[in-house]
Amino acid sequence: MQYPSLGKASVRHIELIAIDDKRLLLMLITDSGRIQQHVMEVASGYEASAVEKLRNFLNEKVAGKPLSSVNKTLRASKDEISAPLQALAGTVIPEVALLVDANSQEKILLAGTSNLAKRQGEFPGSISPVLEAIEEQVVLLKLISEMQADQHGVSLRIGRENTVDALSNTSVLVSGYENQGSEVAKVGVIGPTRMDYSSNIGAVRAVARYLTQSLGGL
């Protein structure tokens, strides 16, 4: 499963919650439904109202803006922060930047590679190149980004239709999932060319629908 990319997303909301007098919970919520959070240590003695004011300031500046512009926007706005909030902002804003930077790359969640190894008899030759290609996320991301869905919302490449040589003895099946009517990422399966296409297509479409519905409820 491909995670929604933060680099393509926009900020829906930034939440800042006091856990106790020395810790704050920072949450970055995007329009793609992704939530990033971090607990940070802060100097004791700040007032609860300062947390609320800083949260409001952050949302005023970056809510609705692309993630790619958040850090630049906050750097340009630092002189607008009132004096009583400067110390707290000096701790929180760098943490916002770290959340954005650390999670801006596209990622894939992999599961079931051990099942492929158990079925290596269904793949001509060694299965090692297949497993290595699957583990190489950049290769997979490039491949699935090139795959265009048919009228049923599914994209399928069989054998040498795959542009990755190591996957020339496999079938790759993907379907996109959406948020607010726009595709945000894809989910799919990789298997032997003799896979059960009907059941796998049904399963991938069902998962994509579930993810779309889940994001719509956020």
Domains of the chain (ranges plus CATH)?
6-102 (3.30.390.60), 113-216 (3.30.450.40)
Residue 167: partners with Cβ closer than 8 Å, 6 or more residues away: 130, 133, 143, 190
Mean pLDDT of 191-200: 91
65-96 pLDDT, tens digit per residue, is 988 889 899 999 989 999 989 999 999 999 99
pLDDT > 90? residue 131: no
Alpha carbons 26 and 74: distance in angstroms, whole number: 15
Task: Please report the pLDDT score of residue 90 as a whole number.
Answer: 92
Model confidence, pTM: 0.57
For residue 111, what are the CA distances in angstroms to 135, 149, 172?
Answer: 11, 23, 15
pLDDT > 90? residue 185: no
Alpha carbons 135 and 85: distance in angstroms, whole number: 45
Mean pLDDT of 171-179: 90
Confidence of residue 125 (pLDDT cuts 50, 70, 90): confident
Query: Which one has a higher pLDDT value, 13 or 8?
Result: 13
Confidence of residue 105 (pLDDT cuts 50, 70, 90): low
* 114 backbone φψ class: left, alpha, beta (φ>0; ψ -120 to 50): alpha
Strand order of the β-sheet with 170-179 is: 154-158, 170-179, 182-192
Alpha carbons 1 and 110: distance in angstroms, whole number: 7
Task: Please report the pLDDT score of residue 21 as a whole number.
Answer: 81
Helices 67-77 and 86-102: crossing angle in degrees, nearest 10, is 160
pLDDT > 60? residue 146: yes
| Contact (Cβ atoms closer than 8 angstroms) between residue 209 and residue 202 | no
pLDDT > 70? residue 175: yes
Task: Please report the pLDDT score of residue 106 as a whole number.
Answer: 66
Average pLDDT, the chain: 85
pLDDT > 80? residue 7: no
| Contact (Cβ atoms closer than 8 angstroms) between residue 17 and residue 35 | no
Task: Please report the pLDDT score of residue 16 as a whole number.
Answer: 94
20-73 pLDDT, tens digit per residue, is 888 899 999 888 777 788 888 887 667 889 999 999 999 999 999 988 889 899
